[in-house]
C-alpha cells in the first residue's frame, strides 16, 4: 500500500491531477478531447506554478538563512520545513492509508450533504497524515492515527466550504474551494482578529492594498515595483552584496508578475470543467452546488499574499528571538509563509497592513505551538527513515508543526472517545449549517 501511494505521489500534481481532471470531465459528460485539453492545461498550469514557487523558495530561503546567521540566533528546535514534514507524514503507517481514508470521508460527507467540496488535491492529504501520525506516535495506535487523519480531513472540508464564497469572489476563481490543511486553519482566527481591528481607532482606517498603493504612487505602486522594493529590503536585512540585493529585488518582481500569469493557464483548463460540472449537477442533483477543491498554490501569487509574506519573513525571525518560551529556530518554512496568509488576504480584502498584523499574531502563537509539538514530531520522525539534520536532536516546523488546527485536534484526541465525539459533533453541525447557507464573507 505504501509503495503504491508513493508511486502515485511521485508522479507529481502536474501529472496526477490532469488524470483526475480528465476522468472528472468524462463523468461530467465533456467530450474526450475537451476533457483531455482541460486536464493538460491544468497540468501545464501547475508546472508553471511550481517553477515560480521554486524561484521564490530558492531565492528567499538563502536570504532568510543569512538573516538568521547575521543575527546570531541560537535555538535548539530546528524548523525542518514542509518537505520534511510531508516525508515524515507519508513515511508512517498512517500515511500509507491516508488517501483511501480521506477519499472515503469526502464521498460520505458529500452523500450526507455535509460538504460541497470534492477535494482532488491528493498530494496535500499529507497534512491529514501528519496530524494522524503525531497521534499514532504518542498512542502507539494506528487506529487512533487514522481516526485523527479522517477528522482533520473532515474539518478542512468544512472550512473549505465556509471560505469558498469569499475566496471565489476575491481571487476570481469560480466554483473552486481551497481545502488546504495549512492555509484553511487560520481562517477561524483571522476573522475575529480582523473584526477586532475594525474597532481600533486610527488603525482601522489604514488602507494598504495593491490598488490603493498603485493609486497613490502610480506606476511605482504596481505589484512588480512592490516586489522589487520588498526584495531589496529583504536583501539588505540579509546583508547581501549590492549585486545580490538587486538580484533578489528583480527576482521578487518577477514572482509578482509571473504568478498571476501561470494561474491564468490553470484557470483556462478549470473553467470548462467547472461549467460542465455545474450543468451536470443541475441536471442530476436538482441544482446542488459543488466545488472543486484545489491546492491553495493557485492563489498565493496575489500581490497582497506575496507582499505580506515577504514582510513576515524578518518579523518571524524577530518574534522567534523575543517570544518567551519559544524554542524553534525558523528556517525551513519561512518561504512557505504565502501559504499561511493566502486565505487571510480575502478576509482583509487585500489590506497588506492588516494581513501582516494578523499574520504576526498567528506566527507568534504558531512558534509556541511548534515548540509544544516538537517532541511528538520528533517521535513520529523516528518511526520513519527521516534523516535528522546534523546536530539536531529535536525538530518541528512552522507549517503544520505550528498549525493551530493540528494542535487542537491532537489535544482533543488526548481525551479519547470524548474528544472524537466533540470533534464529530462540531463537524456535522457546522458542516450542515454551512451547506445550508452561503458561508463566510469578507
Question: Could you read off the pLDDT of 89-114 as tens digits, one per residue?
Answer: 888 889 888 988 999 999 999 888 88
Task: Tell me the mean pLDDT in the region 214-243.
Answer: 86
pLDDT at position 268: 86
Q: For the chain, which residues make up each domain, given as ranges?
A: 60-262+289-436
Torsion of CA 311, 314, 315, 321, to 10 degrees: 180
pLDDT at position 200: 92
- What kind and span of H or E run contains 396? strand 395-396
pLDDT at position 180: 94
In 172-241, which residue ranges form alpha helices assigned H by DSSP? 187-198, 210-217, 223-237
pLDDT at position 426: 84
pLDDT band at 440; cut points 50, 70, 90: low
| pLDDT tens track for 188-218 | 999 999 999 999 999 999 988 888 887 777 7
Q: Ranked by mean pLDDT, which of 218-232, 393-407, 417-431 comes out on top?
A: 393-407
Q: Which residue has the higher pLDDT, 242 or 389?
A: 242
Task: Tell me the mean pLDDT in the region 367-391.
Answer: 87
The pLDDT > 90 percentage for the chain reads 42
What is the Cα Rg of the chain in Å?
21
Q: Answer for the pair 88, 136: CB distance below 8 angstroms, yes or no.
A: no
Q: Answer for the pair 132, 149: CB distance below 8 angstroms, yes or no.
A: yes
328-329 vs 395-396, strand pairing mode: unpaired
* Residue 133 scores a pLDDT above 60: yes
Nearest to 20 by CA among 350, 270, 281, 287: 270
Q: Answer for the pair 112, 105: CB distance below 8 angstroms, yes or no.
A: no
What are the grid coordinates assigned to 441, written together?
Answer: 464573507
* Residue 366 scores a pLDDT above 80: yes
Task: Tell me the mean pLDDT in the region 286-313.
Answer: 87
- The model's pTM is 0.88
pLDDT at position 6: 65
Nearest to 136 by CA among 177, 96, 88, 93: 93
* Residue 136 scores a pLDDT above 60: yes
pLDDT band at 342; cut points 50, 70, 90: very high
List, as one string, the DSSP characters of 126-170: HHHHHHHHHHHHHHT-HHHHHHHHHHHHHHHHHHHHHHHHHHHHH
| pLDDT tens track for 149-173 | 999 999 999 999 999 999 999 998 8
The sign of the CA dihedral 414, 417, 422, 423 is positive
Task: Tell me the mean pLDDT in the region 339-366.
Answer: 95
pLDDT at position 1: 61
pLDDT band at 4; cut points 50, 70, 90: low
Phi-psi region of 175 (alpha: psi -120 to 50; beta: other; left: phi over 0): left
Burial of 212 (0-12, 13-18, 19+ CB in 10 A): middle
The pLDDT > 70 percentage for the chain reads 95
Q: Mean pLDDT in the chain?
A: 87
pLDDT at position 439: 64
Separation CA 142–CA 68 (nearest Å) = 38
- What kind and span of H or E run contains 69? helix 32-71
| pLDDT tens track for 418-435 | 888 888 888 888 877 777
CB proximity list for 103: less than 8 A, separation 6 or greater: none
Amino acid at each position: 500500500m505504501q509503495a503504491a501511494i508513493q508511486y502515485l505521489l511521485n508522479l507529481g500534481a502536474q501529472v496526477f491531477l490532469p488524470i483526475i481532471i480528465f476522468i472528472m470531465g468524462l463523468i461530467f459528460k465533456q467530450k474526450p478531447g475537451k476533457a483531455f485539453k482541460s486536464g493538460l492545461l491544468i497540468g501545464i498550469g501547475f508546472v508553471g506554478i511550481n517553477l515560480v514557487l521554486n524561484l521564490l523558495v530558492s531565492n528567499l530561503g538563502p536570504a532568510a538563512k543569512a538573516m538568521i546567521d547575521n543575527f546570531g540566533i541560537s535555538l535548539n528546535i530546528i524548523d525542518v520545513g514542509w518537505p520534511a514534514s510531508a516525508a515524515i507524514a507519508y513515511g508512517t503507517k498512517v500515511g500509507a492509508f491516508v488517501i483511501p481514508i480521506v477519499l472515503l470521508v469526502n464521498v460520505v460527507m458529500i452523500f450526507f450533504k455535509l460538504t460541497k467540496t470534492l477535494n482532488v488535491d491528493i498530494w496535500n492529504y499529507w497534512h491529514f497524515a501528519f496530524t494522524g501520525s503525531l497521534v499514532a506516535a504518542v498512542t502507539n495506535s494506528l487506529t487512533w492515527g487514522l481516526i485523527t487523519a479522517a477528522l482533520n480531513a473532515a474539518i478542512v472540508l468544512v472550512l473549505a466550504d465556509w471560505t469558498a464564497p469569499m475566496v471565489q469572489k476575491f481571487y476570481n476563481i469560480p466554483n473552486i474551494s481551497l481545502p488546504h490543511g495549512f492555509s484553511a486553519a487560520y481562517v477561524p482566527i483571522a476573522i475575529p482578529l480582523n473584526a477586532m481591528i475594525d474597532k481600533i481607532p486610527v488603525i482601522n482606517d489604514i488602507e494598504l492594498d495593491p490598488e490603493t498603493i498603485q493609486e497613490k504612487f502610480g506606476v511605482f505602486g504596481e505589484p512588480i515595483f512592490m516586489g522589487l522594493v520588498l526584495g531589496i529590503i529583504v536583501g539588505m536585512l540579509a546583508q547581501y552584496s549590492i549585486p545580490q540585493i538587486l538580484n533578489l529585488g528583480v527576482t521578487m518582481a518577477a514572482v509578482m508578475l509571473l504568478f498571476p500569469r501561470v494561474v491564468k493557464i490553470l484557470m483556462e483548463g478549470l473553467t470548462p470543467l467547472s461549467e460542465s460540472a455545474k450543468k451536470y449537477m443541475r441536471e442530476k442533483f436538482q441544482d446542488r452546488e459543488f466545488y472543486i477543491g484545489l491546492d491553495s498554490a493557485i492563489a498565493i501569487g496575489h500581490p497582497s499574499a506575496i507582499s505580506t509574506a515577504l514582510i513576515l519573513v524578518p518579523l518571524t525571525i524577530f518574534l522567534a528571538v523575543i517570544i518567551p518560551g519559544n524554542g524553534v529556530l525558523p528556517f525551513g518554512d519561512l518561504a512557505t509563509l504565502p501559504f499561511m496568509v493566502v486565505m487571510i488576504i480575502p478576509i482583509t480584502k487585500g489590506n497588506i497592513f492588516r494581513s501582516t498584523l494578523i499574520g504576526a499574531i498567528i506566527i507568534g502563537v504558531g512558534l509556541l505551538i511548534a515548540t509544544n509539538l516538537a517532541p511528538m514530531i520528533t517521535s513520529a520522525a523516528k518511526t520513519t527513515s527521516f534523516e535528522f539534520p546534523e546536530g539536531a536532536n529535536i525538530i518541528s516546523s512552522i507549517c503544520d508543526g505550528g498549525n493551530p488546527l493540528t494542535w487542537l485536534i491532537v489535544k482533543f484526541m488526548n481525551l479519547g472517545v470524548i474528544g472524537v465525539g466533540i470533534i464529530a459533533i462540531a463537524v456535522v453541525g457546522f458542516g450542515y449549517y454551512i451547506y445550508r447557507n452561503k458561508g463566510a464573507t469578507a
